[in-house]
């Protein structure tokens, strides 16, 4: 199967309001160009330098989404162009993105990453940490970031019921946060969840942004 065929498989029948982030991390420009030629415009990367190098050499109408764990010293490289940062997992990081965005005269779209999986290896706020941060209200002063929603990763398991339960939990948290802190805002509307092996469950549970990599670009040796 070609990349174009794989893309079609994922996007055919995608419900309205669900967008695909094609996760191109570790894949060369040629693979992205193939997906681009097939019409894909949103790509996801997990390393700041790699994403910036790709941004510089690929068409400028690509929307670059950063889906990795963001180190504060790497923020500045992506600030001029990044379309969405999915992995905000601390207030300090949000503050730092705001600071760099202010310097660049931009307002940067961010998603708060919530830890929903059973594994404790994954990053993210716990639901309580996230609510505490929102309650402290300092974030409202950060005028160069736009909090657009939540992001999460389900447990890495074959237990489909477990995965569904985690996605449904994230959706209910999303609704609660929206009603409590963003009732007057149209910005808070994205729920980023679902990867190659679980995006169907994520869509059923209300995802608006699925992040699919290996199913499109196929398995490769990861560094
Ligand atoms: C790599 C990655 C993906 C894509 O995973 P696949 O299983 O290859 O679809 C999605 N989200 C995050 C945060 C990732 O790191």
Ligand 1 centre distance from Cα of residue 105 (Å): 30
Closest atom of ligand 1 to CA, residue 87: 13
Residue 122: the pLDDT is 66
Distance of CA 198 to the CA centre of its chain: 15
Give the pairing type, strands 145-153 and 84-88: unpaired
What local confidence, expressed as pLDDT, does residue 218 receive?
A: 86
Residue 174 phi/psi, 5° resolution?
A: -55, -50
Tell me the pLDDT of the chain (223 aa) as tens digits: 899 999 999 999 899 999 999 999 999 999 999 999 999 999 999 999 999 999 999 999 999 999 999 999 999 999 999 999 999 999 999 999 999 999 999 999 999 999 999 887 668 999 999 999 999 999 999 999 999 999 999 999 999 999 999 999 999 999 999 999 999 999 999 999 999 999 999 999 999 999 999 999 986 544 4
Taking the centre of ligand 1 as the mean of its atom positions, its distance from the CA of residue 212, in whole angstroms, is 6
Model-level pTM?
0.96
Q: How far apart are CA 147 and CA 127, in angstroms?
A: 16
Distance CA 96, CA 99 (A): 5
222 found inside a domain: no
| Closest C-alpha residue for ligand 1 atom 15 | 68
- Residue 218 lies inside a defined structural domain of this protein: no
Query: CATH number, domain at 137?
Result: 3.20.20.10
* Per-residue confidence (pLDDT) for residue 1, from 0 to 100: 81
CB 100 within 8 A of CB 79: yes
In a domain, 219, yes or no: no
Residues in contact with ligand 1 by the CB-under-6-Å rule are 23, 25, 46, 67, 153, 195-196, 211-215
Number of domains in the chain: 1
In a domain, 223, yes or no: no
- Looking from the CA of residue 215, the nearest atom of ligand 1 is 9
Is residue 113, in this structure, part of any structural domain at all? yes
Mutate-to-test residue for ligand 1 from 211, 212, 221, highest number of ligand atoms within 8 A of CB:
211
Ligand 1 centroid to 67 CA: how many Å? 8
Q: Which domain holds residue 73?
A: 3-212
With the most atoms of ligand 1 within 8 angstroms of its CB, the residue from 45, 67, 154, 209 to mutate is: 67
């Amino acid at each position: 199967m070609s990349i174009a065929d794989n893309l079609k498989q994922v996007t055919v029948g995608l419900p309205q309001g669900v967008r695909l982030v094609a996760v191109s991390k570790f894949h060369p420009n040629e693979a992205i160009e193939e997906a681009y030629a097939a019409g894909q415009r949103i790509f996801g990367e997990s390393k700041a330098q790699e994403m910036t190098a790709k941004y510089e050499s690929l068409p400028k109408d690509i929307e670059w989404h950063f889906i990795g764990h963001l180190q504060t010293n790497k923020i500045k490289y992506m600030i001029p162009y990044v379309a969405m940062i999915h992995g905000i997992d601390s207030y300090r990081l949000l503050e730092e993105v705001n600071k760099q965005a202010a310097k660049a005269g931009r307002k940067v779209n961010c998603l708060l990453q919530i830890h929903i999986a059973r594994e404790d290896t994954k990053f993210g706020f716990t639901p309580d940490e996230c609510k505490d941060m929102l309650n402290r209200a300092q974030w409202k002063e950060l005028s160069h970031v736009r909090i657009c929603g939540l992001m999460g990763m389900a447990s890495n398991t074959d237990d489909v019921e477990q995965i569904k339960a985690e996605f449904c939990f994230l959706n209910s948290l999303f609704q609660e946060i929206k009603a409590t802190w963003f009732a007057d805002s149209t910005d808070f509307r994205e729920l980023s969840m679902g990867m190659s092996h679980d995006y169907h469950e994520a869509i059923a549970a209300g995802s608006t942004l699925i992040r699919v990599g290996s199913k499109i670009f196929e398995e490769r040796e990861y560094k």
